[in-house]
Amino acid sequence: MNMANKLSLLLKVLAVIVEVIKKDANERKTAFDPKPYFRIFTNIFNHVNSVNSILVGADLQVLASIAQSFHALQPAKLPEFCFTWLELVTRQDFMPKLLSQDDHEGWKYFKPLLIDLLRFMEPLLRSGELTELVRVLYSGTVRMMMVLSHDFPDFLCYYYYSDLHDLIPPHCIELRSIIQKALSHIMMTPGLEYHPI
């Protein structure tokens, strides 16, 4: 089986998984259990990252396919899956690998995921009334932004004014401070350049 066929098969498997998760979440509502689906994605990551993977050498295509599956499962469409979604999106074998691709090729696949999260969080944060669940999700969002600010400040800076700025309510000082730190890092680090869109 050649690489194109392997990738095609992966896309079909991911499409089936996405549809099963959507159907299960819509039918079960509050009784929905995301744990089995977390394990499925964990197994996929373990397989594609193993030395013996049949997809060795196709990192970007594999990660992009998974990113598109996560986009289809975004919190606004499946709030029941949002905590598991955030945990999957920020995995060490996904987010850093995608953002570290040559020539920033992975950026365009990760940007929609960050926007998905911020769009979902924006009305919850704007109201100012944070439930315990929203606080937990906000903490996860802050951790994600801190990792991006520290490890990929150029990614945050590149998309901040064009795509992210309006999705962070003005009173979310912590999130805005994290991005300001990334902007400062870019301005102060020799060899790094800030290229606003």
Identify whether 196 is part of a domain: no
| Mean residue pLDDT across the chain | 88
Specify if 195 maps to a domain: no
Q: CA-to-CA distance for 79 and 73, rounded, in angstroms?
A: 9
Is residue 73 a contact partner of residue 85, using CB atoms and an 8 Å limit?
yes
Which whole number is the average pLDDT over 104-128? 93
Check residue 50 and give its pLDDT: 75
Alpha helices for 29-106 (secondary structure H):
35-48, 59-72, 82-89, 95-99
pLDDT digits (tens, 9 = 90+) for 70-97: 999 999 999 999 999 999 999 999 999 9
What does the pLDDT read at residue 141?
A: 96
Cα(87)–Cα(70) distance, rounded to whole angstroms? 11
Cα(180)–Cα(15) distance, integer angstroms: 38
Q: Which domain holds residue 180?
A: 3-188
| Amino acid at position 33, single letter | D
- Token reading at 135: 């606080």
Q: Give the confidence band of 190 by pLDDT, cuts at 50, 70, 90.
A: low
Say which CATH number the domain at 166 has: 1.25.40.790
25-32 own/partner pairs: CB under 8 Å, 24+ apart: 25/78, 25/80, 25/81, 28/80, 29/80, 30/80, 32/80, 32/81
Evaluate whether residue 134 is within a structural domain: yes
Total domains present in the chain: 1
Looking at the domain assignment, is residue 194 inside a domain?
A: no
Q: Is a pLDDT exceeding 60 seen at residue 179?
A: yes
CA distance linking residue 52 with residue 113, whole number of Å: 29
Looking at 4-13, 93-102, 107-116, 133-142, which range is the least confident one?
A: 4-13
The long-range contacts involving 44-47, CB below 8 angstroms and separated by at least 24 positions, are 44/14, 45/91, 45/93, 45/94
Spell out the residues 6+ positions from residue 176 whose beta carbon is closer than 8 angstroms to its own.
168, 170
What digits encode the pLDDT tens for the residues 122-178? 998 888 778 999 999 999 999 999 999 999 999 998 898 888 888 988 888 899 899
Average pLDDT over residues 33-55: 85
Whether pLDDT at 56 is above 70: no
84 occurs within a structural domain? yes
pLDDT band at 113 (very low <50, low <70, confident <90, very high): very high
The number of residues in the chain equals 197
What is the distance between the alpha carbons of residues 67 and 132, in angstroms, rounded to a whole number?
28
Q: Does residue 7 or residue 19 have the better pLDDT?
A: 19
Residue at 123 is within a domain:
yes
Is residue 116, in this structure, part of any structural domain at all?
yes
Q: How confident is the model at residue 182 (pLDDT cuts 50, 70, 90)?
A: confident
**Which residue's entry shows tokens 């995995």?**
91
> Could you report how far apart the first and last alpha carbons of the chain are, in Å?
41
Task: Give the pLDDT confidence score for residue 129 in this predicted structure.
Answer: 77
Instruction: Give 134's Cβ-side CA count (13 Å radius).
Output: 13
